[in-house]
Structure 1
C-alpha cells in the first residue's frame, strides 16, 4: 500500500494529477508538489500561513454521487465553515482527463493541518490538499 494507506493507488495517482482551481478575486490553480507564488501572496494578503483545499463531494470517491446529494453535502460544509468564522473561497478540483466530473470545493484560509484532517474526515473524504507557509500544496491522505 503506497503511503501506508488503504486508498487504491490509482485513486491516489488521480489526486496527485488533479488541478485544484480556486475562484475568487484572484483565481489560481494549485498542483500537488508545485510551489504556488499566487497562493503565497493570498496567504500573505489574508494574514495566514496555511490553507486547505477541501470538498464534501463524493465521499470516499467510491462512485459519483447524486448531484443533489453532493450539493447538499457541500452546502453543509459551507455552513460549517461560515459558522466557524473561516474564510473560504469557492473552487473546483478537476482531473485533466475530464474522466471524472469536477468537484466543487473550498480553499479554506488559515486552517491548520490537524483541523483540516478532521474536517475532511468528517465529510467522508479520502484526502485533502493542504499548504503550509511554503505554499507548496501537499496531498494529505485520510485513510
Structure 2
C-alpha cells in the first residue's frame, strides 16, 4: 500500500523508483517499492522482526543539504534509535538516474509503522519505506504539520 497522495507527483515518482540498498550481514540487498525481496524477507524473519523501515535524516524536506549537515542529522537519528533500543543495518538511498545524491540511511529492524512514521516526522522527511511482515516494501508519506506541543520536542531532537 502506497500512501504518497500528498507528495508532488514528480517527487512521489522519484521515491517510488529509487533503489534502497541495505548493507545486511549477508551482503547488499536492493529494495524496491512494491517488490517482494525473498532475501530480505528471510533475514527479517531470522531477526524475528515484526517489520522494518528504511529511514534517513538527510536532506529534510527533499532539500539538498551539505554533507556536514547531513552527517550531523544522521548522527541524531542514530542516537534517537539507540534511545529506543532499536537495531539497524546501514543502507543508502540511490537515484537510478543519478540526478539526486546518494543518501545514507538505515534499515531499522523490529520497528512498528507508527514508530517509523514518528522518526521520519521528527527528522522532517517527506516519506519513508516500510516493510511489513509480508515483506512487500511500501512508500509512506509523512504529514509534517505537528501539533504545537510536539514542536518543542522536534526542535530539541533535531538541534545540532
- Please report the TM-score for the alignment, with normalisation by the length of structure 1: 0.94
> Could you tell me which residue of structure 1 aligns to residue 80 of structure 2?
80
Distance 1:106 1:80 in 2: 12
CA RMSD of aligned residues (A): 1.2
> Could you tell me which residue of structure 1 aligns to residue 33 of structure 2?
32
SS of match in other structure, 1:134: coil
> Could you tell me which residue of structure 2 aligns to residue 119 of structure 1?
119
Structure 2: 5+ residue runs without aligned partners?
A: 144-160
Aligned pairs for 1:1-143 within 5 A = 3-5=4-6, 7-26=7-26, 27-61=28-62, 63-143=63-143
Aligned length: 140
Distance 2:101 2:79 in 1: 23
Deviation at residue 3 of structure 1 after TM alignment: 4.7
Of structures 1 and 2, the larger Rg is shown by 2
The structure 1 segments of at least 4 consecutive aligned residues displaced by more than 3 Å after TM superposition are none
Structure 1: 5+ residue runs without aligned partners?
A: none
SS of match in other structure, 2:133: coil
Q: 1:58 to 1:85 in 2, by over 3 A?
A: same
Distance 1:8 1:51 in 2: 25
Cα deviation 1:75-126 (Å, max 9, x = unaligned): 0101111221101101000010111111000000111001110110000000
